[in-house]
């Protein structure tokens, strides 16, 4: 049986997280097809045909898909799903919003946030904020699942040559409409796609001090994140939040500054390859997961870090 991957995009570009879903899909056996549903999304469809490992790209280009409304996308995906053994999306807010609606209409129990594929019907997923891992086996005919992007490598782009096929659009469900969006301006990489992340916690004390982190981030090409405590204190907007109730990240380098290491924060970043903790409290739990710990006051250590990066720049 083949696998259908639902692409996430903004009609202009494919979201990188889709590439992780393609890799997960390729581990399920069978051909991988990617659905690009949007309006004026031709460039996205072209990009999708070039993803390595994709056999076919299905394109539904119509007004009801101008914005990713679950009410409008669901009938399209449900209609297509009948021919597939698996329907896969990344566990982003897009995938989490859409896939359960699809699963319910197919009368199947979705598998959420898959971290590993043991067999085409057997998956590992986190429960209790990642404090336990459950291995589950699905008895449903079609497996509808979301996958955790950081658990799968991104598929290569540029080398593929998938066939492109237009599919008939479904009508506007007439249940919901897009009103507007306020996306944070990101001059730095997105958190979920960044190779390096530097995050601040409550000890940053105010939003102004995050500028110090930004200066370090710019020297490393890093994204800036925050703990829930820093977000709740209003230092930075909520989409900066790394943690179980925020974003799950797994960069090559994660630098935690003034973050004590609450369970909820650790659940969001403990799969990072190298973790650095800078905290003046040497008993802080963050040091138990850090590869390199520095006990220091951040107001001194961060400017020093910036200067040291400049001084030792290769």
Residue 68 beta carbon to other proteins: minimum distance, rounded to whole angstroms: 9
Which residues does 129 contact at the CB level (< 8 Å), separation at least 6? 244, 263, 264, 267
Residue 266 beta carbon to other proteins: minimum distance, rounded to whole angstroms: 9
Q: How many CA atoms lie within 13 A of 4 on its CB side?
A: 23
What are the start-end ranges of the E strands in 190-312? 196-200, 223-226, 253-257, 274-279, 292-295
Q: How many CA atoms lie within 13 A of 232 on its CB side?
A: 10
Residue 31 beta carbon to other proteins: minimum distance, rounded to whole angstroms: 25
Nearer to other proteins, 167 or 296 (CB): 296
Phi, psi of 84 (to 5 degrees): -125, 155
Residue 5 beta carbon to other proteins: minimum distance, rounded to whole angstroms: 18
Residue 271 beta carbon to other proteins: minimum distance, rounded to whole angstroms: 9
Nearer to other proteins, 94 or 210 (CB): 94
Residue 161 beta carbon to other proteins: minimum distance, rounded to whole angstroms: 30
Q: Are 289 and 270 in contact (CB under 8 A)?
A: yes
* CA-to-CA separations, 187 to 56, 178, 224, 227, in angstroms, rounded: 34, 25, 10, 20
Nearer to other proteins, 57 or 69 (CB): 69
CA 232 to centroid of chain Cα atoms? 22
3-state secondary structure of 267: helix
Q: Sign of the CA dihedral 111, 146, 115, 159?
A: positive
In angstroms, rounded to a whole number, what is the distance separating the alpha carbons of residues 227 and 312?
A: 29
Nearer to other proteins, 46 or 71 (CB): 71
Q: Which DSSP symbol is given to 214?
A: H
Distance in Å from the first CA to the final CA of the chain: 51
Nearest alpha-carbon partner for 56 in 76, 84, 95: 84
Nearer to other proteins, 184 or 206 (CB): 184
Nearer to other proteins, 33 or 197 (CB): 197
Q: What is the token pair recorded at 58?
A: 């299905």
Q: Are 38 and 9 in contact (CB under 8 A)?
A: yes
Nearer to other proteins, 23 or 241 (CB): 241
Residue 84 beta carbon to other proteins: minimum distance, rounded to whole angstroms: 17
Nearer to other proteins, 168 or 182 (CB): 182
Residue 106 beta carbon to other proteins: minimum distance, rounded to whole angstroms: 10
């Amino acid at each position: 049986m083949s696998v259908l991957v639902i692409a996430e995009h903004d009609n202009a570009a494919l979201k990188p997280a889709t590439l992780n879903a393609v890799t997960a899909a390729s581990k399920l056996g069978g051909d991988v097809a990617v659905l690009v549903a949007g309006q004026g999304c031709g460039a996205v469809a072209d990009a999708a045909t070039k993803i390595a490992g994709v056999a076919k790209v299905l394109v539904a280009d119509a007004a009801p898909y101008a914005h990713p409304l679950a009410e409008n996308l669901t009938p399209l995906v449900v209609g297509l799903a009948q021919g597939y053994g698996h329907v896969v999306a990344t566990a982003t807010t897009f995938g989490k919003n859409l896939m359960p609606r699809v699963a319910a209409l197919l009368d199947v129990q979705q598998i959420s946030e898959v971290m590993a594929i043991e067999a085409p019907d057997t998956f590992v997923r986190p429960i209790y904020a990642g404090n336990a891992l459950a291995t589950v086996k699905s008895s449903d005919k079609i497996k509808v699942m979301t996958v955790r992007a950081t658990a799968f490598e991104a598929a290569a782009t540029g080398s593929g040559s998938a066939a492109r096929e237009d599919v008939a659009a479904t009508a506007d469900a007439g249940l919901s409409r897009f009103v507007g969006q306020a996306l944070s301006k990101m001059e730095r990489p997105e958190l979920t796609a960044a190779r390096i992340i530097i995050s601040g916690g409550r000890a940053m004390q105010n939003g102004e001090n995050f500028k110090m982190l930004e200066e370090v981030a710019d020297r490393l090409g890093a994204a800036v994140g925050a703990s829930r405590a820093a977000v709740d204190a209003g230092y930075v907007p909520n989409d900066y939040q790394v943690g179980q109730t925020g974003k799950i990240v797994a960069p090559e380098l994660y630098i935690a500054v003034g973050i004590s290491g609450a369970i909820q924060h650790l659940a969001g970043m403990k799969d990072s390859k190298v973790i650095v903790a800078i905290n003046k409290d040497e008993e802080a739990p963050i040091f138990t997961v850090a590869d390199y710990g520095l006990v220091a006051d951040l107001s001194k250590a961060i400017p020093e870090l910036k200067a040291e990066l400049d001084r030792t720049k290769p």
